[in-house]
Amino acid sequence: MASVLVVEDDQFVRSALIRQLTEASHTVRSVGTALEALREVAQIGFDVVILDLGLPDLDGAEALKMLRGITDVPVIVATARDDEAEIVRLLNDGADDYLVKPFSVAHLSARMAAVLRRSRTPAAGETPPSGVLRVGGLTVDPLRRQAALDGIGLDLTRREFDLLAFLAGRPGVVVPRKELLAEVWQQSYGDDQTIDVHLSWLRRKLGETAARPRYLHTLRGVGVKLEPPTQDGEGADVREYRERR
């Protein structure tokens, strides 16, 4: 059972979602505008937000950015827009997942369960995630959801943190993209561009680029690995390339 805020201006869709989510034992509140959504989230703690993009007062994409300024509550975007570039932009702006309309409540419930598994903290008496992960000058604390590079905290989105923590737990191991989609995005299929966008933003925050990697290394056609830089500050891949030359 989850506490859900439905942000949807279409009264028919809104009523259907409320009824079916309530029947699935979720606690549901609903609003029809972006400003009402921001007010509700600021005043009440929710487990997940279902955000429609076609809102009357503010585009849902802008509402998403404003939500991310005040909370890290998981947000599932419900959209009729199936443009790939738009979806990638929404994920990059802080959406945890998306569904293209029309969709079934069973599909929505499955996606909700997936984002809640990723975001929940351990219950009392439950074994917490493993301790702080250290890879070179990088530290990742899965329990507190904090990461730092050379002692300086990193400002990461939820998905960036999930990706970094997953790779940091497997230092030096090449993780296939299919596994990243399954474990980080909780999807059995998806677009490589989604992974590439998040890797690009993560690299920026780690002070590196795809051309000059230090921690994050992409093996074309294979996967991604995270490993500490060499003593000269370069990643092993860059050093090997220089030696071959």
For the chain, the structural domain boundaries read: 3-119, 133-244
Whether pLDDT at 203 is above 90: yes
Class in CATH terms, 133-244: mainly alpha
**pLDDT value of position 231:** 60
Domain covering 3-119, topology: Rossmann fold (3.40.50)
pTM, to two decimals:
0.55
> Which one has a higher pLDDT value, 13 or 144?
13
pLDDT band of residue 189 (cuts 50, 70, 90) is low
Residues with Cβ within 8 Å of residue 21, at least 6 apart in sequence: 4, 6, 28, 105, 108, 109
pLDDT band of residue 119 (cuts 50, 70, 90) is low
Span of 105-114, 121-130, 224-233 with lowest mean pLDDT: 121-130
**pLDDT value of position 167:** 93
Q: What is the mean pLDDT of residues 189-216?
A: 86
Whether pLDDT at 237 is above 60: no
Quickly count: other Cβ atoms within 10 Å of residue 75's Cβ.
Answer: 29
**pLDDT value of position 48:** 92
Whether pLDDT at 234 is above 70: no
pLDDT band of residue 191 (cuts 50, 70, 90) is low
Span of 27-31, 77-81, 197-201 with lowest mean pLDDT: 77-81
Q: What is the mean pLDDT of residues 147-151?
A: 92
- The mean of the pLDDT values for the chain is 82
